[in-house]
Chain A
Amino acid sequence: DVKVTQSSRYLVKRTGEKVFLECVQDMDHENMFWYRQDPGLGLRLIYFSYDVKMKEKGDIPEGYSVSREKKERFSLILESASTNQTSMYLCASSLESHNEKLFFGSGTQLSVL
């Protein structure tokens, strides 16, 4: 069974801390994505990667960076966490094709205090 695993289900951090959200997929997918989900706003794309060491900005990249050193792992980094980054973060992966669906992880609820 295909799987996208996010390292933490819940995370509480302090303002100014550096935060790492990890995501691993076991499907050999080329594409990996980081979204954040906020009530009334749906899912908004932060960054995505279409290959190892390749990344592209999504719609809301400010305050975030990403790392993809291996095909199966895609990390989201909050360099200096702020309270407005409190959100649900969803990682996803897919094959490289326009009709390929995304497989999602179970999400990380991040609270920045």
Chain B
Amino acid sequence: AQKITQTQPGMFVQEKEAVTLDCTYDTSDPSYGLFWYKQPSSGEMIFLIYQGSYDQQNATEGRYSLNFQKARKSANLVISASQLGDSAMYFCAMKETSGSRLTFGEGTQLTVNP
């Protein structure tokens, strides 16, 4: 069974600094996709970035990049130049190719301080 672990319940970062949110996963499926979502206090789930297990390069989307280390089964989210609006809950998730379901981690609450 697939499993996602986010070990940081809360993280703090100063505005304009970079921050890394950790995510490890476990799966026996050789083909899978990894996702990061942001959930601000308004409650909406916002898709940030996707990484496929066979992608050769780490995914990047603007200030977001995914540090994908397949051998270590980790998919950490890096946010560069943090902004106050980045304060939110962040979820890591995985979908195996063999299935349709997306399994989420417990989430990390990020607070950006001015």
Residues of A within 8 A of B (CB): 31, 33, 35, 40-45, 48, 50, 58, 88, 90, 92, 94, 96, 98-99, 101-104, 106-107
Separation of A33 and B104 alpha carbons in the complex (Å): 13
A-B contact count (CB 8 A): 58
Given contacts A40-B9, A104-B44, A104-B45, contact A99 B33 (CB under 8 A): yes
CA distance A107 to B39 in the complex (A): 11
Pull 29 A–B residue pairs with CB atoms less than 8 Å apart, ordered by A: A35-B104, A40-B9, A41-B106, A42-B4, A42-B6, A42-B91, A42-B106, A42-B107, A43-B91, A43-B93, A43-B104, A44-B104, A45-B101, A45-B103, A48-B100, A58-B101, A94-B100, A94-B102, A96-B100, A98-B31, A98-B33, A98-B96, A99-B33, A99-B52, A99-B95, A101-B35, A103-B47, A104-B44, A104-B45
Whole-angstrom distance between the alpha carbons of A43 and B92 in the complex? 10
Expressed in whole angstroms, the Cα–Cα distance for A50 and B106 within the complex equals: 25
On chain B, the residues within 8 Å of A40 by CB distance are 9, 106
> Shortest distance in angstroms between A27's beta carbon and chain B's nearest beta carbon?
14
Report B59 CB to chain A, min CB distance, Å. 11
Asked if B25 is at the interface (CB within 8 A of a chain A CB), the reply is no
CB-defined contacts of B45 to chain A, threshold 8 Å: 90, 92, 102, 104
Give residues 28-63 of B contacting A (CB, 8 Å): 31-33, 35, 37, 42-45, 47, 50, 52
- In the assembled complex, the CB of B94 is this many whole angstroms from the nearest CB of chain A, namely 10
Residue from the set B52, B91, B106 with the largest chain A CB neighbour count within 10 Å: B106
Other CB < 8 Å A-B pairs besides A50-B100, A92-B102, 11 of them? A42-B4, A43-B91, A45-B103, A90-B45, A92-B45, A94-B100, A94-B102, A99-B52, A101-B47, A101-B50, A104-B45
